[in-house]
Structure 1
Amino acid sequence: MEEYEYDPDVWKSVENISKEEHENFLKFSKIFLPFTYLLVFSFGLVGNCLVLAVYIFCQKTKSLTDHFLLNLPIADLLFIGTLPFWAYAIIHEWVFGPVMCKVVLGMYTLNLYTSMLFLTGITIDRFIAVVQATKTHIYQAKRMTIGKIIYIIIWVFSLLLTIPQFKYTRISQKNKKVCHTEEEDISTMVLTIQMTIGFFLPLTAMIICYSVIVKTLIRAKGFQKHKSLKIIFLVVAVFVTTQLPFNLIKLIRTTSWEYDTDPRFLYAFVITEAIAYLRACLNPVLYAFVGVKFRKNFWKLMKAFKCPHAAGRISQYQSSEDTSKSFTASNNAQATSMYQL
């Protein structure tokens, strides 16, 4: 790109379109992208920090899903922390030096792998908790030990996959300094791995696991069944809505490079990428705040900060929990409370 660069797949393609279209695209990007980045940064920072605060100060990590939920906001915060750098670089240029260029792009890639692998882990753990409800309690200690090994493996594996990103990241200068990856060196391999781990693996896990979970919950007897089903459909719908468009655009580009000269394709790439970034804001809502137990602990945290409404909220959730226990009808029905986390 002649002026600045964030995603090489898009910005190098801009050189192939007309000057007028080029300028229009730059004007759009300089407004749309910084606004989107700062929006995701603001809401994502607040949401993920609240999740971390609740888990650190108020909520014991008793289950494997709790451990995954503790690591998920850490992974998302790595990505969120890069957004102000990109917002500034798009408006002006890259002024943060070659080391920060490697770190910022590396953190983005590390988050892609870790967050999606933790989402996959949450999905599989919930599958085990519901479908194997009776055995889950027996092997709880063993699952916790295995789980700790798994999330360490996720971080190490993701870091290893990020090494090419660190290696091939550099700063170039035409009219302005830009931080980017030399995609000619690693594009095919990296894109395949990113799409597999960043989309197809979690999507496949969600489809298979949640299909069996839905079937199990429908057969179970318990008043929480319908609420659990709604949350399942919400989780899958949000994931598909935010991640599918961007991954389809990337897939189309790898099979038909002629789209590089189509301005509509460039706009679609930028917009769907911004939508995909919303996962950093939505993850705390979907995987933490929808849980009754988490919300109760959230209000405990608010009570510690002298929030006047906290005591009433805590009493309300306590009453709800007592009612829940009195209506539990079976092991499978008891497992439907997994979304209370």
Structure 2
Amino acid sequence: MDDDTSTTYYDVFIEEDFSGNMTEQCHKHDDKIFAAQFLPPIYSLVFILGLVGNALLVLTLVRYKGLKGVVDVFFLNIAISNFLCLVTYPFWIHTAIHSWDLGNAMCKMVSGFYTAGYYGYTCFLVLLIIHRYLAIVHMGRFHLAAKKTGCGIIASAWGLAVLAALPELMFSQVQTEGRDNICHFVQPHYPLGDEKFWKNFLTLKMNILGLLIPLLVAVFCYGSIRKTSRYKEKNYGLFRLIFVMTLVFIGLWTPYSLVLFLTTFQEHLNLSNCESSYHLDKATQVTKIIGDTHCCINPVIYGLLDETVQRRLYCLFHHQNNTDSHPREGPEQQSPATKGPLYHSSRF
């Protein structure tokens, strides 16, 4: 590459590969400017909506359903997982606007909370999928086993989530970039000499535990459920709720997982040129923000599709209409939404 081209377009040196045979001057994507402009308003909105939505979800599960079944406890732990992620958002907002001034210990704690919350969510989402599969396909042998093993399964799920978060907790630390101190989470500080191994390992962990396993479990379980006669005989509202939650979660996180994979293995995929690196760096930030919105979207899905919440909302608006001088409906005039037994998620 000649000097005229380099002085026109590039100003920062990065290596294209680990062999060091070829070095190219590239203009990198300025992630700090992008984060300062877009991350604070988006994360602030997600933080507020997520706190309110998940608090209402916990209230519904504890007060109106009484946590009577394993499914309700799984949903409660999903809300807790969302809270673990959400409490870290103010720290990322502060870092995007200013600089990290809370030290290494806090940096590790925030990174650990976020990662444990993310993998906790995936664990309990997979447990909900398997629970529906066992309850519908193997209904006769399922109820007693579910009651006996519920606490152990929940403890194991959180143990796996914490174990999966350990690398991020270990490698996250404050690094100096120019005049700013940054708590690196997306790009941890890897041990010298092992950067390539840990970078590949964390990327594969994210893709396998966070995307591939939930996707394969969902495809197998939902395919098996739809073939059963019991599914064809009855409309399972809880099955529909978990199915939509799974689709939304996979849809939000698949772009980031794919971009992270391409970024990590770009030298093997012929994507290590300047233009590809620039676009991959930018796509990493954008898709990460998209994935993080799952914390506030999940309670909305639950509220729209859960029949207990629908019934409460119907009673609320029905009561409001009665207070506005509308005649009360007799039993024979009640809406179909309030007639007949509703399917409660706490039964299984």
Given that 2:311 and 2:337 are in contact with CA atoms closer than 8 Å, whether structure 1 keeps it comes out as no
CA distance in 2, matches of 1:264, 1:220: 47
Determine whether 1:179 maps to 2:179.
no
Matched AA of 1:31: Q
Seq. identity, %: 25
- Residue 82 of structure 1 deviates from its aligned partner by 0.2
Are residue 206 (structure 1) and residue 218 (structure 2) matched? yes
Q: Which amino acid aligns with 2:79?
A: P
Give the counterpart letter for 1:250 in structure 2. Answer: L
Pairwise CA distance, 1:127:
1.2
Task: Give the unaligned 5+ runs of structure 1.
Answer: 1-14, 326-333
| 3-state SS of 1:172 partner | strand
CA shift in 2, pair 1:276/1:22, >3 Å: closer
SS in 2 for 1:173: strand
Match of 2:168 among 151, 157, 165: 165
Larger relative contact order (Cα-Cα within 8 Å, sequence gap ≥ 6): 1
Match of 2:232 in 1: 220
Distance in structure 2 (CA, Å) of the matches to 1:126 and 1:317: 31
1 CA distance for matches of 2:165 and 2:40? 25
Residue 72 to residue 236, structure 1, CA distance change in 2 (3 Å): closer
Residue 197, structure 1, aligned to residue 209, structure 2: yes
CA distance, structure 1, for counterparts of residue 69 and residue 334 of structure 2? 20
Decide whether aligned partners of structure 1 residues 324 and 246 sit closer, same or farther in structure 2, where only a CA change above 3 A counts. Answer: same
Retained in 2: the 8 A contact 1:228–1:339? no
1:145 to partner: Cα distance:
2.2
The residue number in structure 1 matching 2:38 is 32
State TM-score, norm by structure 1: 0.77
Alignment partners' CA distance in 2, 1:50 and 1:152: 24
Match of 2:158 in 1: 155
**Residues 102 and 169 of structure 1 are in contact (CA less than 8 Å); yes or no, is this contact kept in structure 2?**
yes
- Aligned-partner Cα distance in 2 for 1:83–1:164: 20
- Counterpart Cα distance in 2 of 1:298 and 1:98: 46
Unaligned runs of 5+ in 2: 1-23
Mean Cα deviation higher: 315-324 or 182-191: 315-324
Q: Mean Cα displacement is larger for which, 155-164 or 172-181?
A: 155-164
Any residues of structure 2 matched to 1:279-318 within 5 Å, and which? 279-287=294-302, 289-296=304-311
- Tell me the amino acid that sits aligned with residue 178 of structure 1: I
Give me the whole-angstrom Cα distance separating, in 1, the residues matched to 2:116 and 2:150. 20
Cα distance in 2, alignment partners of residues 110 and 281 from structure 1: 17
Q: State the Cα distance separating 1:133 from its structure 2 match.
A: 3.1
Check the 8 A contact 1:102/1:166 in 2, yes or no: yes
Question: How does 1:114-153 map onto structure 2 within 5 Å?
Answer: 114-136=120-142, 140-153=143-156
Structure 1 residues 80 and 229, CA gap change in structure 2 (3 angstroms):
closer
1:28 CA drift (Å): 2.7
Matching residue of 1:41: 47
Paired with 1:153 and 1:338, the residues of 2 have a C-alpha distance of 22
Report if aligned partners of 1:129, 1:338 keep a CA contact under 8 Å in 2: no
Q: 1: CA distance between counterparts of 2:120 and 2:284? A: 23
Match of 2:56 among 40, 50, 58: 50
CA contact (8 A) 2:70 2:150 kept: yes
1:181-236: CA deviation from partner (whole Å, max 9, x where unpaired): 213273222222222111111111111111222233686223x36x7786566334
In the alignment, what sits opposite 1:245? 255
For 2:228, what is the secondary structure of its paired residue?
helix
Q: Secondary structure at the match of 1:60?
A: coil
Q: Is the 8 A contact 1:58 1:298 kept in 2?
A: no
| Cα displacement (A) at 1:22 | 4.2
Greater helix percent: which structure?
A: 1
Please state how far the C-alpha of 1:115 moved relative to its aligned partner.
Answer: 0.7
Tell me the TM-score normalized by structure 2: 0.75
Using a 3 Å threshold, how does the CA distance of structure 1 residues 280 and 167 change in structure 2: closer, same or farther? same
CA distance in 2, matches of 1:317, 1:189: 58
Larger radius of gyration: 2
2 CA distance for matches of 1:250 and 1:142?
39
Matched residues in 2 for 1:299 and 1:167: separation? 49
Tell me the number of residue pairs that the alignment of Structure 1 and Structure 2 aligns: 303
Q: Letter of the aligned partner of 2:298 in structure 1? A: N
Contact 1:101 1:170 in 2 (8 A): yes
For 2:255 and 2:25, the matched residues in 1 are separated by 23
The 5-angstrom pairing of residues 244-263 of structure 1 reads 244-257=254-267, 258-259=271-272, 261=274, 262-263=277-278
Please name the residue that 1:11 is paired with.
none
Q: Deviations over 1:80-116 (max 9, x none)?
A: 1101110110111102222211110111111121110
Residues 31-65 of structure 1 deviation map (CA, whole Å, 9 limit, x = unaligned): 11222211221111111111112222222222221
1:188 maps to: 200
**Letter paired with 1:239:** F
8 Å contact kept, 1:195–1:247: yes
1:91 aligns to 2:103 (yes or no): no
Note closer, same or farther for the CA distance 1:134–1:37 as it changes in structure 2 (3 Å cut).
Answer: same
| Counterpart Cα distance in 2 of 1:39 and 1:318 | 36
CA distance in 1 between partners of 2:53 and 2:314 (Å): 14
